[in-house]
């Protein structure tokens, strides 16, 4: 199945994407997309790999992602090529492009925040290598017999350096840093194939087994666990199996409220297409703009609105997986079964080590009638956590409730766009005065919770009151819809911000965990302190930024998400330093009762802790499944075990 491409760590959800907030905007994008697709079809005619399998090409490809991803996306950074942060000539930050609400806006406070927080300067640039240096890419070592047989199937493939490099990485800091630096690649896939449907995948897997070729499934490429990295010791031909063209909704069953979807579809396309029929899945991981359904399944993804819709394991009704032993699927779509251990749970979280998820039946819901953002300011993080705990206890969490610590609160403020009217400015000032002076909140202590309510209008308003009443008992003050919405915007542009940081000697990464309620505060404090200490010990010369956020609430605990960034000027090997610090932070998390991962997965980055996390017997159980399903290690990405 697909490798963990879903839950890109840095990014919050994308509900504020241009495409669903502005209809003329989405029309424009759709047109552009059609042009691109047309371009592709055109190209195929001259391409020897271009014969499209007839059975699968039933309709024109409606997906956002073309085969040549590099045509619309950055090859060495996050997201769309046209969207990025930069400091303009006046030193002011702006966000380019037209896709997002923030696009085209000037962010007057970002520079100050950036320079003060990191000790960085807009005059000290660390620019990236402008283009891929083909000579840094090892030549493709092809399995000729496999290629011959593959040609006969008519499934498109490529062994161009750009295509291969694009699929050799996810979005870990070290991966993006290496791309920017133009480092030589140790191992990249030798070729890329683009199946168009389940049957194509069956053929590819059969051929891979026949010719002993290593397959690495690739979905949205948003992994942050080194899951997409090719094992350097792999001597067989490595084929990246890109599912991006398997992106159709095959049917919608309105009686049972389920949809049957090809697993290569990415989050934004899935939501958009379902919206057209009046439905949604409600699954919105922060990476949903780019991550794919198959990737969500393969990594046990979590969406920010899981309180209403559930996490991926709650949403999935039926999964079809192609493995070297054949196809695994259940024989019915019963909502729950007692038929021994649930085989879905071998697949959920298997991170591409067993096979390829090709089709998924998942729950859908009618689009909610009403959505409302909100926010609450608390005097300090402790009060905020206590409030979230109480909300979870009363089981009245809104679709999303997130608590940002003070560092993130300030960061959010730095991302405020230029205010157009004097009046808004005045109101903002008044609010600030009320909270800090009148209510006595310390601006260096206060934290903010952002909320998103969904449902019918009356219920939402009722619900909102209930949550605000609880918040008030913990000293929380309602702080308006705008602040809430801004919090959610921040979540999907933050990944773009990392690229900006890297232009100025700042490296950044995020990681997550889940932890019982009573340990949330201790874990947050200790992990931050550990990061600060490790940075100091490892010669980082500037105070690092450590920040955390409680992003999900459960009955018995919470998901905590950390950001960590520092200015690396003066360090010989910033990536190594960064990796050691992250390693220490993970150890600290485990020592404080946190889990190895809440939704990012294990990949190769956190393999070393698997035994400790699930016991060696547990690892043995997983290993025996792997040995049975894939005895020749065709799915050889070596994640997890």
Partner 1 sequence: MSTVCASCFNILVFVTLQQRDPMLKRDGFEDILEERRNSSDLKYALRCYAPVLYKGVTPCKANMLKNIVLQSDQLHYVINQVSQESGEAPDIIQEEASVILEEMAHRLQISTVRFFAFALSKAFKTLFQHVCVNEEGIQRLQQAIQEHPVVLLPSHRSYMDFLLMSYILYTYDLALPVIAAGMDFMGMKFVGEMLRMSGAFFIRRSFGGDKLYWAVFSEYVKTMLRNGFAPIEFFLEGTRSRTCKSLTPKLGLLNIVIEPFFKGEVFDVNLVPVSISYERILEESLYARELLGVPKPKESTSGLLKARRILSEDYGSIHVYFGQPVSVRSLAQGKVNRSTYNLFPRHIPRKPMEETQSFVNDTAYRIVRLQEDNMVLKPWVLMASLLLQNLEGLELSVLTEQTVWLRGLALSYAAFLDWPDHAPTAKVVSSSLALHRGLACVSGGRVSLVVGEPLGPVTPEEALFNRAVSVLSCASYRNQVLHVFLRPAMLAVAMHTAASSKKNEVYNCFSFLWDMFSNDFILCPGDIVQDFEEACYLLVKTGAVQMPQQDIVMTDIGQPTLSFFNGLLEPFLQGYQMLLPTLRSEYSVLCVFTGNLRCYEVLSSDMQKNALAALLRMDAVRKVKV
Residue numbers annotated as active site? 561
Q: Is 389 annotated as a binding residue?
A: no
What the block records as the tokens of 378 is 């608390």
Q: Taking the complex as a whole, how short is the minimal distance between the CB of residue 536 and partner 1, in angstroms?
A: 6
Q: Choose between 229 and 534: whose C-beta lies nearer to partner 1.
A: 534
Stretch that binds partner 1, among 95-103, 162-170, 279-287, 523-531 (CB under 8 A): 523-531
* Alpha-carbon span 189 to 168, nearest angstrom: 6
Q: Is 534 annotated as a binding residue?
A: no
Asked if 606 interacts with partner 1 (CB under 8 A), we say: no
The site string for partner 1 over 524-543 (x = CB under 8 A, - otherwise) reads: -xx--xx--x--xx------
| Bridge-based pairing state of the strands 506-516 and 545-553 | unpaired
Asked if 593 interacts with partner 1 (CB under 8 A), we say: yes
Asked if 611 interacts with partner 1 (CB under 8 A), we say: no
Asked if 369 interacts with partner 1 (CB under 8 A), we say: no
Q: Taking the complex as a whole, how short is the minimal distance between the CB of residue 528 and partner 1, in angstroms?
A: 9
Asked if 109 interacts with partner 1 (CB under 8 A), we say: no
Q: Choose between 612 and 632: whose C-beta lies nearer to partner 1.
A: 612
Q: Taking the complex as a whole, how short is the minimal distance between the CB of residue 115 and partner 1, in angstroms?
A: 26
In whole angstroms, how large is the CA radius of gyration of the chain?
24
The site string for partner 1 over 462-491 (x = CB under 8 A, - otherwise) reads: ------------------------------
What the block records as the tokens of 489 is 């915007």
Asked if 254 interacts with partner 1 (CB under 8 A), we say: no
Give the angle subtended at the CA of 614 by the CAs of 611 and 620, to the nearest 5°: 70
* Alpha-carbon span 380 to 446, nearest angstrom: 5
- Residue 365, beta-bridge partner list: 280
Q: Is 357 annotated as a binding residue?
A: yes
DSSP symbols for 82-104: T--EEE-TTS-EEE-SSSBTTTT
* Alpha-carbon span 453 to 459, nearest angstrom: 9
**Alpha-carbon distance values, 162 to 131, 156, 168, 204, 231 (Å):** 10, 16, 10, 22, 19
Asked if 442 interacts with partner 1 (CB under 8 A), we say: no
Q: Taking the complex as a whole, how short is the minimal distance between the CB of residue 560 and partner 1, in angstroms?
A: 13
**Of positions 591, 608, 627, 631, contacts partner 1 by CB under 8 A:** 591
Q: Is 267 annotated as a binding residue?
A: no
Report the 3 state secondary structure along 363-400: ECEECCCEEEEEEEEECCHHHHHHHHHHHHHCCCCCCE
Per-state percent for the chain, helix, strand, coil, to nearest 5: 40, 20, 40
Asked if 444 interacts with partner 1 (CB under 8 A), we say: no
Q: Choose between 164 and 530: whose C-beta lies nearer to partner 1.
A: 530
* Alpha-carbon span 219 to 356, nearest angstrom: 10
Q: Is 424 annotated as a binding residue?
A: no
**Of positions 143, 225, 592, 633, contacts partner 1 by CB under 8 A:** 592
DSSP state of 406: H
What the block records as the tokens of 481 is 């819809």
Asked if 612 interacts with partner 1 (CB under 8 A), we say: yes
Give the angle subtended at the CA of 266 by the CAs of 346 and 290, to the nearest 5°: 105
Binding positions for partner 1, rule: CB under 8 A:
518-519, 522-523, 525-526, 529-530, 533, 536-537, 590-593, 612
For the annotated binding site for FAD, the residues are 217-223, 299-302, 351-357
């Amino acid at each position: 199945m697909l490798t963990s491409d879903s839950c890109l760590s840095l990014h919050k959800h994308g509900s504020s994407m241009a495409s669903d907030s502005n209809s003329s905007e989405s029309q424009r994008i759709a047109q552009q997309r059609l042009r691109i697709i047309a371009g592709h079809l055109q190209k195929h005619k001259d391409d020897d790999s271009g014969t499209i399998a007839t059975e699968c090409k039933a309709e024109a490809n409606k997906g956002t992602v073309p085969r040549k991803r590099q045509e619309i996306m950055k090859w060495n950074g996050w997201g769309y090529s046209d969207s990025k942060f930069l400091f303009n000539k006046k030193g002011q930050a702006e966000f380019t492009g037209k896709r997002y609400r923030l696009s085209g806006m000037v962010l007057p406070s970002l520079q100050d925040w950036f320079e003060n927080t990191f000790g960085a300067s807009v005059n000290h640039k660390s620019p990236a290598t402008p283009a891929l240096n083909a000579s840094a890419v090892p030549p493709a070592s092809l399995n000729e017999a496999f290629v011959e047989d593959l040609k006969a199937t008519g499934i498109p493939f490529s062994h161009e350096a750009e295509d291969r490099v694009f699929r050799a990485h996810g979005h870990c800091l070290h991966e993006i840093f290496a791309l920017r630096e133009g480092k030589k690649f140790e191992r990249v896939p030798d070729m890329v194939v683009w199946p168009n449907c389940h049957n194509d995948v069956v053929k590819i897997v059969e051929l891979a087994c026949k010719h002993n070729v290593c397959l690495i499934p690739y979905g949205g490429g948003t992994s942050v666990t080194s899951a997409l990295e090719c094992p350097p010791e792999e001597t067989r031909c490595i084929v990246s199996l890109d599912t991006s063209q398997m992106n159709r909704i095959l049917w919608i069953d309105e009686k049972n409220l389920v949809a049957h979807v090809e697993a290569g579809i990415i989050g934004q396309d899935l939501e958009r297409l379902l919206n057209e029929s009046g439905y949604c899945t409600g699954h919105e991981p922060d990476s949903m703009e780019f991550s794919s359904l198959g990737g969500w399944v393969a990594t046990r993804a979590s969406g920010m609105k899981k309180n209403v819709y559930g996490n991926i394991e709650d949403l999935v009704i039926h999964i079809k997986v192609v493995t070297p032993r054949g196809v695994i699927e259940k024989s019915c779509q019963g909502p729950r079964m007692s038929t021994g251990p649930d085989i879905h749970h071998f697949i959920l979280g298997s991170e591409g080590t067993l096979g390829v998820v090709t089709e998924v039946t998942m729950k859908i819901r009618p689009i909610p009638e009403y959505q409302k953002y909100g926010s609450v300011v608390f005097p300090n993080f402790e009060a905020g956590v206590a409030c979230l705990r109480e909300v979870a206890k009363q089981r009245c969490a809104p679709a999303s409730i997130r608590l940002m610590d003070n560092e993130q609160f300030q960061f959010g403020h730095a991302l405020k766009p230029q205010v157009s009217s004097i009046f808004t400015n005045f109101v903002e000032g008044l609010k600030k005065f009320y909270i800090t002076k009148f209510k006595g909140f310390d601006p260096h202590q206060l934290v903010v919770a952002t909320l998103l309510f969904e449902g019918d209008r009356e219920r939402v308003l009722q619900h909102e009151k209930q949550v605000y009443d609880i918040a008030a008992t913990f000293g929380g003050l309602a702080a308006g819809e705008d602040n809430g919405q801004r919090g959610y915007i921040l979540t999907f542009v933050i990944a773009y911000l990392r690229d900006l940081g890297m232009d100025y000697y700042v490296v950044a990464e995020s990681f997550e965990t889940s932890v019982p309620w009573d340990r949330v505060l201790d874990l947050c404090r200790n992990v931050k302190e550990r990061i600060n200490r490790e940075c100091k010990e490892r010669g980082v010369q500037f105070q690092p930024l450590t920040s955390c956020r409680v992003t999900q609430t459960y009955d018995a605990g919470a998901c905590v998400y950390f950001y960590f960034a520092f200015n690396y000027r003066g360090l010989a090997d910033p990536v190594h330093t960064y990796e050691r610090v992250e390693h220490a932070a993970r150890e600290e998390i485990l020592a404080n009762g946190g889990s190895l991962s809440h939704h990012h997965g294990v990949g190769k980055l956190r393999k070393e802790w698997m035994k400790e996390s699930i016991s060696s017997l547990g690892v043995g159980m997983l290993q025996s499944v792997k040995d049975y399903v894939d005895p020749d290690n065709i799915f050889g990405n070596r994640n997890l075990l």
